[in-house]
Amino acid sequence: MIFTIAGKDLKSLFTSPVAWVVLTFVQLIVGYGFLKRFDDFLSIQPQLLQLPSPPGFTELVAVPTFSIAAAIMLFAVPLLAMRLIAEERRNQTMVLLTSAPISILDIVLGKFCALMGMLLIILALIALMPLSLSAATRLDYRLIGSILLGLTLMAAAFSAVSLYVSSLTTHPIVAALGAFGALLGMVLVGEHVADNLHARGLGVLAAFAQVFSPVKNFEPLGRGMIDSYAIACLALLVTLFLALTVRQLESRRLRG
């Protein structure tokens, strides 16, 4: 049932003009950044050859390209997620869905999988940019794999937060703005709070605060370090907000 709901919502995403606008916007911005970095790399290549251990294509082109993608996810995910629950509530179709013989958990997981399916397509298209030059240059596949893992987990965290905000309102635009505000707050405040608590010797609270800082948890993976703690924090953030979404929809179903 989860994959049935996911398939239905994924189809609805592809029939939405917003999804195509987001997909086009992401590809244009990331593509421009990739071509600009690639052009800069070609222009400084003679100087790099004179260095004893120069950085390669992956460090100078692929990594910055993925960094641009990470920043754009902050805007793209709320826009893609805003309709998944808020619009169903506004159109009264969520009542029919919750009255069907399926659990709220299945509904939430189905919508989460649909959103992640869309985001994985976007990430795959972005990954094809540097990978398309694999025959012409040497790539650090371990670093690229680590960054893609980090981007996938961060996209999942953004998706879970955005779905939760979408479950709080019946207006998709409000859901998008609310999700963007929540994610921006996590980016700007989460890292500062975690570092401040750690400096005061409050290690337990600092570790808890780091869960709410997805960008901070992405950083080691973006450097090619498979940090199990960062992965656990991202996974915990996803689980927490999916559970909050289930709780929110369950309470609304009980209230009728």
Query: DSSP letters along 148-213, please?
Result: HHHHHHHHHHHHHHHHHHHTT-S-HHHHHHHHHHHHHHIIIIIHHHHHHHHHTT-HHHHHHHHHT-
| pLDDT at position 154 | 93
| pLDDT at position 206 | 64
| pLDDT at position 113 | 94
For the chain, what is the largest distance between any 2 Cα atoms, rounded to a whole number of angstroms? 71
Helix, strand or coil, per DSSP, at residue 73:
helix
Gap between the Cα atoms of 68 and 254, Å rounded? 43
If we measure between CA atoms, which residue out of 142, 160, 140, 154 comes closest to residue 231?
Answer: 154
* Positions of E strands within the chain: none
| pLDDT at position 55 | 76
| pLDDT at position 204 | 65
Question: Which parts of the chain sit beneath pLDDT 50?
Answer: none
| pLDDT at position 38 | 87
| pLDDT at position 50 | 73
Report pTM. 0.89
Tokens at 151, concatenated: 């981007």
| pLDDT at position 212 | 77
| pLDDT at position 60 | 86
User: For residue 195, how many C-alpha atoms fall within 13 Å in the half-sphere facing its CB?
Assistant: 9
